[in-house]
Amino acid sequence: MFETVFLIQMLLLQCTSVQSETESHAKCGDNVTLKCSGVESMEFISVAWYKFDKQKPHGIVRRDKGEDNIQDYNFTRPTVFKEDQSLFLSSVVPDDSGLFECEITADLGHTNLHSKVKLTVNECENELMTTITYEQNSTQTPSHGREEDLPVQWSITGVVAVGLAKIILSANIILVTRAVQTWSSRQRRQQW
């Protein structure tokens, strides 16, 4: 009984996370660095940045601990993932406003962190100048291989489908084995 309660407590501890939220204000055309608070004081497995659109997170970038390779997602604008795990946005425009999240996946036994930053960018005085600057800066960021995380629903659906396929195949193997055994026992009886 004690072992069961202890195991459940350990599993619940692994699934916990801490959230914090800050606000950042910028003028149109400013360069902005969004800080991932908490990452400097902990051991982590990976750090990922997301931007929320209608309460749905969209991946921007991700880096695994000890890896130089950055996993770049299909985000709508160029970004730079800095060494201190912060996210750099050059020449921001009002469309860049929104809720960003830095997700820190902790090592085993530690708590995951979700650091949210609400970015607000003021309206541009000259929209044409901002568009030209944004297009010029978009060619400066190196392009990495683009990959997207599968939504959790699809991952769970895939695991369930594989599980069901295994059950069906196992049941078929059992039925075929029994049929072969029955057939062979009848054959032996007929030979006597």
Q: Do 136 and 54 share a structural domain?
A: yes
Do 37 and 95 reside in the same domain of the chain? Answer: yes
- Residues 155 and 139 reside in one and the same domain: no
98-120: string of b/e by CB count within 10 Å (b at 16+)? eebbbbbbbeeebebbebbbebe
Structural domain includes residue 6: no
Size (the chain), residues: 192
Q: In the chain, how many domains are there?
A: 2
Looking at the fold, whether 31 and 122 belong to one and the same domain comes out as: yes
123 and 188 in a common domain: no
Determine if the pTM surpasses 0.85. no
What span, in angstroms and rounded, lies between the C-alpha atoms of 58 and 81? 16
Residues 132 and 39 in one domain: yes
Task: Tell me: do 154 and 122 sit in the same domain.
Answer: no
Q: Which residues pair with 58 in a beta bridge?
A: 51
The mean pLDDT value of the chain amounts to: 77
Question: Mean pLDDT over residues 69-80, rounded?
Answer: 83
Structural domain including 36 reads 17-148
Q: How confident is the model at residue 97 (pLDDT cuts 50, 70, 90)?
A: very high
pLDDT band at 143 (very low <50, low <70, confident <90, very high): very low
Residue 1, pLDDT score? 52
Least confident segment among 13-17, 57-61, 151-155, 160-164: 13-17
